[in-house]
Amino acid sequence: MTDLWDIIIVGGGPGGLAAAMYGARSKQKTLLIEKGKTGGQAATTWDMENYPGFAKGTTGPGLMQAFTDHATSFGAEIVRGEVVDVTADDKIVTLKDGTKYHGRTLIFAPGAVPRTLGVKGESALRGKGVSYCATCDADFFTDLDIVVLGNGDAAIEEGSYLTKFANSVTVVVIHDEGVLDAAPMLQERAFRNPKMKFVWNSTLQEIRGDGIVEGVVLHNVKTNELTEMETNGVFIYVGTIPQTGFLQGKVNLDERGYIITNEQMETNVDGVFGIGDARVTYLRQVITAAADGAIAAVAAEKYIIEEEGFKESVLAEERPVAVVFWTPMSNRCLEMMPNIESALTVFGDKVKTWKLDTYRNRRVASRYGVTQNPTIVFFHRGQVAARLVDAEITAEAINTTLVALVN
């Protein structure tokens, strides 16, 4: 662990790749760590019709390769490895092989993996007819009959893709007849597809087979009836699980394990960000993950500038420093600033003045409990020595405070 990286990104899906591109383009020394092939789940989705500017003919693997090439073209470095431990406060990540990387900021984009059902036969037959990725395994089922479980966008979109290979695709849906959770366009396309069939009010009770999938047992949730059905394969799409186990106790996660962030993608730890499918968010798509990545990279750059600038200009200063927190959007600040500056200049080089716009430097303002504008926080040798807030700020009060600090 010799190099210090400006931005370290964990996870090479669309969010991580977008963050790498934005970080490297802004001349930040950017490292992306990915345990497998870049692209994440998007690289396993064949048809990619909902990414703006890319219509029919765009594939998930192709789009993710373009993301990767774009990031590396600006100088982002990509290394293969699995992160198993994190020291969030010190911005250190540790790989499975013991390698450690140190950054000024961390962006976590670990993504999510398909949720399993946990039914009998699922684990034993995984990879032997049970799959969670149509793009990966569709060609193994050419001219065969398969089952898809699920009714959201992923299930219906991937089910439609599977009809290009399979003889038939039977979609098992827990809802009443005609009710799907997928986007209307996907529903219409699926209902028109002669190879797609539907079993309603049902779920999977068991997956059967001797070495390979040979059939399933369907459970009707309304009648409790069990029905056996022959099939050569089962594709399961019932949601995802965030890959955040290595972040337990490191940053705040919700009850399901998703990373909690604000709109700047900031976690509860300064300089640490969370993005993409592993973040608490309303929508999980390539476009939203990419947007998260762009926001986080820009926020990381601002963090570095803000933190390093404050440390160098205020905390490392031997002289007393009067940090004036203000905002030009406040008439009160605009009225008071001339008098504040005049009172501070009396001490010449004995005192350093540092003005901070609270709108642009919210993190520092929050750290030092600044809630009103203007506020003057006086530092001496890196420590808060005194403060004056709004009406307390007078030429006399400034003079009294600084005389005590200078002497």
Question: Residue 23: its pLDDT value, please?
Answer: 98
Q: Which residues are catalytic?
A: 133, 136-137
Concatenate the DSSP letters of all residues of 147-196 into one string. Answer: EEE--SHHHHHHHHHHTTTSSEEEEE-SSSTT---S-HHHHHHHHH-TTE
- Judge if pTM exceeds 0.85: no
Residue 362: name the closest of 274, 286, 289, 263 by CA. Answer: 263
Give the homologous superfamily in CATH for domain 4-113+240-310: FAD/NAD(P)-binding domain (3.50.50.60)
Indicate the DSSP class of residue 136. H
Question: Residue 89: its pLDDT value, please?
Answer: 93
Q: Is the pLDDT of residue 269 over 80?
A: yes
| CATH number at 317-406 | 3.40.30.10
Tens of pLDDT along 377-389? 999 999 999 999 9
Question: Residue 54: its pLDDT value, please?
Answer: 83
Mean pLDDT of 7-11: 98
Domain edges within the chain: 4-113+240-310, 130-236, 317-406
Residue 310: name the closest of 266, 373, 360 by CA. Answer: 360
Mean pLDDT of 263-290: 94
Domain 130-236 fold: FAD/NAD(P)-binding domain (3.50.50)
Mean pLDDT of 56-75: 91
Q: Diameter of the chain by CA atoms? A: 89
Mean pLDDT of 172-191: 95
User: How long a stretch of residues is the chain?
Assistant: 407
- Both tokens of residue 64? 């993710």
Domains 4-113+240-310 and 130-236 share a fold: yes
Tens of pLDDT along 324-372? 999 999 999 999 999 999 999 999 999 999 999 998 888 889 889 999 9
